[in-house]
Structure 1
């Protein structure tokens, strides 16, 4: 069956095309970095006949050869699609990055999928399920997404499948650990001299059959007399777990009464419970042995995906409106319905150009269609909203470096679309005469700033276009042109995300940039009243320049801005020049008077001055006003004001103490804590922004990947004198300039 599938997929460079949503399964693989997701995808592709025994496609490349950055970094950094065929179904496997910095790619995978496969490594220590994986499980549970668990690395020494499944039940099952149970148990081979007994097969708990993979080919056999008793306890627990989720309320009584429930009924109830998302089976998998065509557990896993995971027909279509927000009736997954598709990922290919990975929720997408592009509400991150018509280019399915053409993409399926010049991640594709907008999914906020500058003049000329392309690919990145600090800032999710952004700028778009220290937007204000005279008198032949103004400066409450008051009497400053003085004062305030930061929260009163009938002018009084403000700053203490953010940190209860202590060490003031669900606490604190530049990285380390935070600017406050002195020294011009 696998060889036939390979022929159909690869023939004439075309991909298998699904004609009905009922024959499609969309599955995202989720797990911590290093858990073995990509290796598992390759093993499944081998079992399905999509790659040869060396793990290579027809052109000699492997499925993981498509991204050079991933090769250099030795980890997945983007969502990848691998379509397979098994059991008469098209399976779209979405391999999501496991590292927390690429949560945006993971969220895109969750949006495109109808079920999730959580990959857990048996090589982990006692805390076998990282905190970040637990958070994703909770996200899936909140939307009712069906989930199963696959234990990998069974060929690693010191693995304990029984212990690991028990841990998974406790962590993922919550109040109902019997909703997370194994369907198979590994069969261990002969013990090696180091005490390691590798898994060579699986025991099917429901069928009581042994599936032997020791030769690289799956063979079915009966258990021997020593094996049969060992599986009964696990089998009974599994049956009870399945019956507890059954819609037949009489089944449990019949089972407890001694009736032997037939296998067909148990399998049917299991598949329904998995598709509903109320039961989460645990399976085991390992790569194929050298020369083998099937990895351990891959057949069982593919069978579960095709028989237990839901079709797109069983999952609700996201809410849709018109592009202007008018509600529309709910759509269904109908190939004949109105076209509603969503760009879940955007990438660039040096030969093809922009490539959009699209999930079709309703209708059918065809090459050369003209569609309407609507979206997507991320203007604050450098992504413009779209409301344009575009022509769809070729449709294809990626397979390693290959691009296999598709004739069409029906509701429920996934396809790549070439050369959509306007569409970005999160945008909606719909019929041009019936434009729609799909409600966007939640995107993580980028909270790690990266200030950059072009390395050369040639790089500066290409920087703007390179940043625009980078932003189009990655909606989790925010591009900021800071008007106060005059810095170009990329806001990222973490250090790995930052490194990938810099690498993409260099390798894909030919732009060399340097990272520079990030500056926060400070302010200045007077700490005490002051008086000063601004005198601008010059004579150099012909008309001279003459303007004198006397001012008083006093501090105002925070948030008052700049207030200008005219109290000149007797015409000492002619009326037509008073606005000139104000203009000069405000211009100097914008430039700052101490460390080059805008001056705020003061009242400037013009009390006196002098003018000349010939030499006074608008420009002269502007200069005199600016000089007066600078002179006043020299006669009074000037405070530096730093921005303060309200930080909300959500962490498990066991990390509340360390988080509060850490925030206090950042000059933060904890203003309260709130219970935020079982075992979670929300810590609220006011913290100077200069202290939380790297908090996205530090919190992840402090909470072992389980903490999240948000930040919102609330006000400016005076900076402590010792820190203010340091900032002033850093901003002093060096000699010779």
Structure 2
């Protein structure tokens, strides 16, 4: 991987065998060997230059004829402020490169934190991750968090420092920042060289050869490094060799190196490739999408440096009963097992499902089993169905190109499926299986919506189901207490995209304030009489009951006690009184919120031999509770959640200070991992409505939190004064 003239390895034929001048065309070749497939997720913050770099790679390999020629919605630069409104900025896109007999599926992941669901989908479909770090902006906390996300699942990684020719670029400081943030195993394979102040090429640290791009785009010319270039790169070369040897399984290499032996480049490259595939060594490359500097070396890294699907273990697979099956091999002749990693709905094509195939071969017109499990809490019911693959496509961004088959290790798009959703398993109809789903992030920002007019409610419900079906990070809830339709989103940007999708389908809607579901309780004991007596000629209504109400401890619930003596309230009407009390508790007695944590004791009453009825005593019970509330003091209770906040150590003080402004109660802090802390607190739910947004702003996108309902507590008087029910 360090320059032409290197020996072949088990992964490929060296850069000399890669033809970057393949003519683009409308035909789409089909990958026939999993060993020649590479699935690489492009990861990085918004503004790092992923989109521009992707287009440069596509143009260099002939997939597109020129920069900026990908279809609308796929050509916006990551640095464009309007990126959030563009398709590729908020969803996972697959952009295949054909390099000789290799196929490289680039999975362009969103750079916004709100779309971590699509990021995780991309990581699930990928066998390696390429971090794109701008030489202008460097590494931020959000990028470090993304690195940890990949580290958690053991995904091989490399780093490309982009925009190295920008006037404000700082290659060396950014490289040092990457090493500080990601670890000492982050080492460059090439270093940029300058001629008359401009970056004109890169020098291979192992080969000592210079790739000279000064003549313009295309394959660079090769020449040996001059003395000054060798001297300038000597320290980096020594660090690279020592880093590779430290990862080598050959324990004699270090002794030989320290003794002054020259280690053959082929030996170092072979050990390097093994360490990269193992996920313990992370090469760094430098590129410029505008001038093409470093693109040839990056393409070589994509094809030779990263592992093929055959070298990566597949996900856990079970049968429909939940029994775990044996290891899943990436074999085109094996059982069919694939996973839907992204779903969109097209007005002409219906559902378009992006599928990563882990085993078997998928052919057009075959019948497959579609199975889904595990997201019932987000409105995705478990389902099993059979469907016919009528259209098999190869995606290039949002452009779909027909192909005849898709083999294990590759990625394809299926259209016009009936029920498939993101996270579903595609398998053989005769032997259906389920792939263990990846971890979905929990949406923590609520947005309440309603139809703009009463007649718009049906259209909202119908189209919201379609939007939720393709977005597993969205949770739709009809709150049973406030009766609001609440969309739980990942953040403000995610909410905006969801609302835009609904409006794009012709839905007229509006957002309203989210109502926190409060409770009511009695602050002190009270007694009351409920009298429901009506006489309008003929059969009347008669029911009188006397009750005593007293508050209970928080969380105690409701108790009903009968202490009637002498049959003042006949036994068969006692239950009617309780039913009326419970109904009134549900409706509330002050602000319209349910009443909790009280004991109601029936102590007396009166009945009529003719006019008394179940309905009369239910009404009397409800009236009695309202009268008791008027004679007592009603205390509003608000939900309080236990919150766990994970942030870099540098933001702990900021987060703790912010908690105090949110009526939060700090319960502890603890170190978790390197340079990260976990802050635990108790916080009212009303203060958490926008916390997903605010925490991200406080921590430069690096903080995350989880919440669990704890209990209800009294609402402060200043807050209670403004509390009303929907």
**Which band: TM-score by shorter chain?**
over 0.9
Q: What corresponds to 2:382 in structure 1?
A: 385
What whole-Å deviation, never above 9, does each CA across 1:630-657 have from its counterpart, x for those lacking one?
A: 0000000011111110111112222222
Q: What corresponds to 2:675 in structure 1?
A: 679
Q: What corresponds to 2:43 in structure 1?
A: 30
Supply the distance in 1 between the matched residues of 2:23 and 2:453 (Cα, whole angstroms): 52
Q: What corresponds to 2:252 in structure 1?
A: 250
Q: State which of 417, 421, 424 in structure 2 corresponds to 1:424.
A: 421
Alignment of 1:542 onto 2:521: no
Q: What corresponds to 2:111 in structure 1?
A: 98
The answer to whether the 8 A contact 1:33-1:75 is kept is no
What whole-Å deviation, never above 9, does each CA across 1:613-670 have from its counterpart, x for those lacking one?
A: 3322222221111111100000000111111101111122222222222222212222
For 1:419, what is the secondary structure of its paired residue?
A: strand
What whole-Å deviation, never above 9, does each CA across 1:73-109 have from its counterpart, x for those lacking one?
A: 5971110000111131110000000110110000000
For 1:667, what is the secondary structure of its paired residue?
A: coil
Supply the distance in 2 between the matched residues of 1:276 and 1:618 (Cα, whole angstroms): 74
Deviation at 1:62, TM superposition (A): 8.2
Alignment of 1:412 onto 2:423: no
Supply the distance in 2 between the matched residues of 1:234 and 1:71 (Cα, whole angstroms): 39
Supply the distance in 2 between the matched residues of 1:638 and 1:472 (Cα, whole angstroms): 43
Q: State which of 601, 604, 625 in structure 1 corresponds to 2:600.
A: 604
Q: Quick one: structure 1 residues 55 and 695, their matched pair in 2 at CA, closer, same or farther if it must change by over 3 Å?
A: closer
Deviation at 1:319, TM superposition (A): 0.9
Matched residue count: 704
Q: Quick one: structure 1 residues 190 and 75, their matched pair in 2 at CA, closer, same or farther if it must change by over 3 Å?
A: farther
Supply the distance in 1 between the matched residues of 2:682 and 2:397 (Cα, whole angstroms): 48
* TM-score with structure 1 setting the length: 0.92
Alignment of 1:152 onto 2:162: yes
Supply the distance in 2 between the matched residues of 1:580 and 1:535 (Cα, whole angstroms): 14
What whole-Å deviation, never above 9, does each CA across 1:429-483 have from its counterpart, x for those lacking one?
A: 1111211111111111111111111112342121112111111111111111100
Q: What corresponds to 2:6 in structure 1?
A: none
Q: Quick one: structure 1 residues 698 and 75, their matched pair in 2 at CA, closer, same or farther if it must change by over 3 Å?
A: farther
The answer to whether the 8 A contact 2:162-2:287 is kept is yes
Q: Which is further off, 696-705 or 77-86?
A: 696-705
The answer to whether the 8 A contact 2:73-2:87 is kept is no
Supply the distance in 1 between the matched residues of 2:407 and 2:701 (Cα, whole angstroms): 38
Supply the distance in 2 between the matched residues of 1:648 and 1:223 (Cα, whole angstroms): 54
**1:67-466 matched pairs, under 5 angstroms:** 72=85, 76-124=89-137, 128-173=138-183, 177=184, 179-191=185-197, 198-214=198-214, 215-217=216-218, 218-289=220-291, 295-466=292-463
Deviation at 1:70, TM superposition (A): 5.2
Supply the distance in 1 between the matched residues of 2:77 and 2:485 (Cα, whole angstroms): 30
Deviation at 1:288, TM superposition (A): 3.6
Q: Quick one: structure 1 residues 322 and 490, their matched pair in 2 at CA, closer, same or farther if it must change by over 3 Å?
A: same
Q: Quick one: structure 1 residues 75 and 91, their matched pair in 2 at CA, closer, same or farther if it must change by over 3 Å?
A: closer
Q: What corresponds to 1:194 in structure 2?
A: none
Q: Which is further off, 234-243 or 149-158?
A: 234-243
The answer to whether the 8 A contact 2:531-2:543 is kept is yes
The answer to whether the 8 A contact 2:577-2:621 is kept is yes
The answer to whether the 8 A contact 2:394-2:413 is kept is yes
Alignment of 1:630 onto 2:641: no
Deviation at 1:61, TM superposition (A): 6.2
Deviation at 1:411, TM superposition (A): 0.9
For 1:372, what is the secondary structure of its paired residue?
A: strand
Q: What corresponds to 1:6 in structure 2?
A: 24
Q: Which is further off, 588-597 or 380-389?
A: 380-389
Supply the distance in 1 between the matched residues of 2:375 and 2:566 (Cα, whole angstroms): 56
Supply the distance in 1 between the matched residues of 2:601 and 2:696 (Cα, whole angstroms): 51
Supply the distance in 1 between the matched residues of 2:358 and 2:23 (Cα, whole angstroms): 25
Supply the distance in 1 between the matched residues of 2:72 and 2:495 (Cα, whole angstroms): 29
For 1:34, what is the secondary structure of its paired residue?
A: coil
Q: Quick one: structure 1 residues 628 and 61, their matched pair in 2 at CA, closer, same or farther if it must change by over 3 Å?
A: closer
The answer to whether the 8 A contact 1:386-1:423 is kept is no
Supply the distance in 1 between the matched residues of 2:617 and 2:516 (Cα, whole angstroms): 33
For 2:24, what is the secondary structure of its paired residue?
A: helix
The answer to whether the 8 A contact 1:46-1:55 is kept is no
The answer to whether the 8 A contact 1:87-1:303 is kept is no
Q: Quick one: structure 1 residues 388 and 74, their matched pair in 2 at CA, closer, same or farther if it must change by over 3 Å?
A: closer
**1:14-53 matched pairs, under 5 angstroms:** 15-53=28-66
For 2:483, what is the secondary structure of its paired residue?
A: coil
Supply the distance in 2 between the matched residues of 1:62 and 1:79 (Cα, whole angstroms): 12
Give the RMSD, CA atoms, in angstroms.
Answer: 2.1
What whole-Å deviation, never above 9, does each CA across 1:196-224 have from its counterpart, x for those lacking one?
A: xx422212222222222232232223334
Supply the distance in 2 between the matched residues of 1:105 and 1:372 (Cα, whole angstroms): 24
What residue ranges of structure 1 are gaps of 5+ in the alignment?
192-197, 290-294, 733-737
Q: Quick one: structure 1 residues 494 and 503, their matched pair in 2 at CA, closer, same or farther if it must change by over 3 Å?
A: same
For 1:573, what is the secondary structure of its paired residue?
A: coil
Q: State which of 651, 658, 662 in structure 2 corresponds to 1:655.
A: 651
For 2:510, what is the secondary structure of its paired residue?
A: strand
Deviation at 1:5, TM superposition (A): 5.6
Alignment of 1:530 onto 2:526: yes
Q: Which is further off, 716-725 or 442-451?
A: 716-725
The answer to whether the 8 A contact 1:651-1:706 is kept is yes
For 1:698, what is the secondary structure of its paired residue?
A: helix
The answer to whether the 8 A contact 1:16-1:90 is kept is no
